[in-house]
Amino acid sequence: MLLFIIGVVSGFIGGMGIGGGTILIPSMIFLVRTPQQIAQGINLASFIPTSLAAVFVHSKRRHVRFKIAFLLILSGIPGICNCQQKIVYRTRNQSLMFLNMSNSPTERIPLTRLSTSKEAVRKYKLITGSSSVKCFCIP
């Protein structure tokens, strides 16, 4: 229910094009106690249906200038690809701190030869035999 309310409030702000993430990310971190990266991921994923709905309403009002939007999208994509490299780079060269269900740091594994964090989770499960790996964050 708390998650739903956070969604409504941030969706309202986000639907006006003001930036729902400014509400959503801190409230996820402080109220739901998720790590920063997970909060960012939730913000991104939940904004897909939210913005779909908002864009639909806005385009009906003819507020959206699609030609310019298209160009902005095209040029925005390289910006994102840059960020992907950054995430992978950071996970490759630093040790990841794993969190289990109780949110307490359990173990650090150097990720010298792991390419993605997904692979790291797999290895962690193999080592500890636990299936309770829920999330992890870059320390």
Partner 1 sequence: VNDLNRRGWFIKIMVIGLITGFCNGVFGAGGGMIAVPSMVHLLRFDEHEAHATAIAVILPLVIISSFIYFRNGFLDLGKAIPVAAGGVMGGIIGAFFLHRIPSKWLHRIFALFMIAAAIRLIV
Q: Is 97 helix (H, G, I), strand (E, B) or coil?
A: strand
CA–chain centroid gap for 88, Å, is 14
Q: Rounded to the nearest whole angstrom, what is the least distance from the CB of residue 128 to partner 1 in the complex?
A: 16
For partner 1, give the closer residue by CB, 52 or 126: 52
Q: Which is nearer to partner 1, 73 or 127 (CB)?
A: 73
DSSP state letter for 47: H
Q: How far is the CB of 110 from partner 1 (least distance, A)?
A: 17
Nearer CB in complex with partner 1: 108/118? 118
Question: 135 has which bridge partners?
Answer: 99
Residue found under tokens 């969604």 = 7
Coil vs helix vs strand at 82: helix
Shortest CB 12 distance to partner 1, Å = 4
Report in angstroms how near the CB of residue 82 gets to partner 1 at its nearest.
6
